[in-house]
Amino acid sequence: MRVTVIGTGYVGTVTGVCLAYLGHRVTCVDTDSVKIARLSSGDIPIYEPHLEELVPLAQARGGVDFTTELADAVAASDVIFIAVGTPPLPSGEANLSYLESAARSIGAAMDHTRFRVVVNKSTVPVGCGNLVEALVREGIADGGTSTQTVRFGVASNPEFLREGSAIHDSLFPDRIVLGAQEERTINVLRDLYAPLEAQDFDAPPFCPRPRSGGRVPLVTTTLTSAEMIKYAANAFLATKIGFANEMANICEKVGADAKEVMKGIGLDSRIGTAFLNAGIGWGGSCFGKDVQSLMHIAGEYGYQARLLEAALTVNRLQRQLVIQKLQEKLFILKGRSIALLGLAFKPNTDDLRDAPSLQIAERLLQMGARVKVHDPIAMRVCREQFPDLRVTYCDTPERAADNADALVLVTEWEEYGKLDLERIGSRMARRILVDGRNLFDPETARLAGFDYTGIGRCASAAVPAALVS
Ligand SMILES: NC(=O)c1ccc[n+]([C@@H]2O[C@H](COP(=O)([O-])OP(=O)(O)OC[C@H]3O[C@@H](n4cnc5c(N)ncnc54)[C@H](O)[C@@H]3O)[C@@H](O)[C@H]2O)c1
């Protein structure tokens, strides 16, 4: 099929490249001409594992190109995805201006030569399917074409990919959700996603099909249910992590170990082990924004979403734990040198949106501490996006640790788990380690001379590993 993807961010680029890999002819459109120039020359502006390797494979199959010219792309397409940003406004509401502008431009570029499907992949408040339809119609009228003769359907196809494993998640999704009013619209998308649903394509060599990978469930719903599914999924995941954090805080008080407790409850098949890692809270562009937006929608209907309010509060307080733990160890933070390991909101991405690291660094700087940082990937983006953040960037974790009074693990990059703690400690002024993601083994850290503190991990609860297997 001929496909246009509007918005070449984390979602749009991966979606476009994966659809081309499946054999569709894809044009990715963005208003940001610098981004498009980079993408056109094979330089991927975001860090997403294996994306750079997938682009030439996608070129050789369906083919993918990048442009700022939306009208030509839409005119030639059967399916048009909207994957623009929907960032939060100060009120918590989603900013729909990018979506609105994209929908109008799509309408203005449509003619009567074929039936087209406009697909909302951006995460949007319930009801946006109708809004997109109305705006496309307005765009058609603005473009001078009769709205009577132009045939199109609107669908909601929420995206569940995770940054850092976006290609895997796009090629081997847990489910595909399609919401639309008309069967005809759904059928076009069924055809588009047929190889994904059947899983009958060759997996790229660097992203093998999971062993469990059979047919992918395809869930068809109304537009409204599909929009709600995305919000409900993120609200559940954010709340699940919030729950793990709340339990960890109680574990710390009573002398239990949160890792053991979460393992113990996660093995219950009704609960599951995923998203139960206690830490300094979630960040990123989705959970906070989507939970706030859902609360705002509920509020419009006179419903106060108390559980979601609590999930946000627990997460906000969790980020402050690092400062509290440093104060408990060092008392005065003014003039201290603190090394932060990790800037990205999670490993395997360069995304800094709502990253706990930024809030922690800012608070430490406000309190008069010196802050040194290291991140394997996100330092360049941090320098560019936050030029006023007065931290010292260090090209290795060891340099960050040099003469530091404390080391704080903020993002659980795999390489940090392999650090030689003895060597790191020998470079520090004091061997204090605040492990914000419970990445390190407390005993190993203690043997390396560290005063170790994790999240919900009590020293007295430490049991020889052999007894807890
Ligand atoms: N990032 C994720 O992990 C993720 C996962 C699932 C869903 N989502 C949702 O997907 C949507 C996109 O997220 P993202 O992280 O890719 O955003 P992003 O900010 O990385 O990218 C958005 C892109 O859209 C472009 N854009 C804005 N207006 C445009 C227009 N009128 N025409 C063409 N391009 C335009 C911007 O220049 C930008 O490149 C959001 O609604 C988000 O909530 C994101």
Q: Which domains does the chain have, with CATH numbers?
A: 2-221 (3.40.50.720), 236-468 (3.40.50.720)
Q: For tokens 């729909």, name the residue.
A: 96
Instruction: For 352-397, write each residue's pLDDT tens digit.
Output: 999 999 999 999 999 999 999 999 999 999 999 999 999 999 999 9
Q: Which amino acid is at 301?
A: Y
For residue 191, is pLDDT > 60?
A: yes
146, 162, 193, 222, 261 from 225: Cα distances, Å: 31, 21, 20, 5, 35
Catalytic option among 28, 207, 251, 286: 286
The whole-number average pLDDT for the span 36-46 is 96
Query: Ligand 1, atom 13: nearest CA belongs to which residue?
Result: 85
Task: Give me the DSSP letters along 395-420.
Answer: SSHHHHHTT-SEEEE-S--HHHHT--
Q: For tokens 């989705």, name the residue.
A: 286
Instruction: For 68-102, write each residue's pLDDT tens digit.
Output: 999 999 999 999 999 999 999 999 899 999 999 99
Label residue 146 by pLDDT band (50, 70, 90): confident
Instruction: For 242-289, write each residue's pLDDT tens digit.
Output: 999 999 999 999 999 999 999 999 999 999 999 999 999 999 999 999
Q: Is the CB of 11 under 6 A from ligand 1?
A: yes
Q: Could you count the other beta carbons within 10 Å of the beta carbon of residue 347? A: 21
* d(CA 284, ligand 1 centre) in Å: 13
Q: Is the CB of 283 under 6 A from ligand 1?
A: no
Q: Is the CB of 120 under 6 A from ligand 1?
A: no
- 122 Cβ neighbours under 8 A, 6+ residues apart: 7, 11, 82, 83, 84, 85, 86, 98, 99
Label residue 349 by pLDDT band (50, 70, 90): very high
Q: Is the CB of 109 under 6 A from ligand 1?
A: no
Q: Mean pLDDT, the chain, as a whole number?
A: 95
Q: What is the pLDDT of residue 459?
A: 56
Q: Burial of 60 by CB count in 10 Å (0-12 exposed, 13-18 middle, 19+ buried)? A: exposed
Q: Kindly calculate the radius of gyration of the chain based on its CA atoms and give it in whole angstroms.
A: 24
Please give the torsion angle defined by the CA atoms of residues 275, 278, 279 and 283, in that order, rounded to the nearest 10 degrees.
30
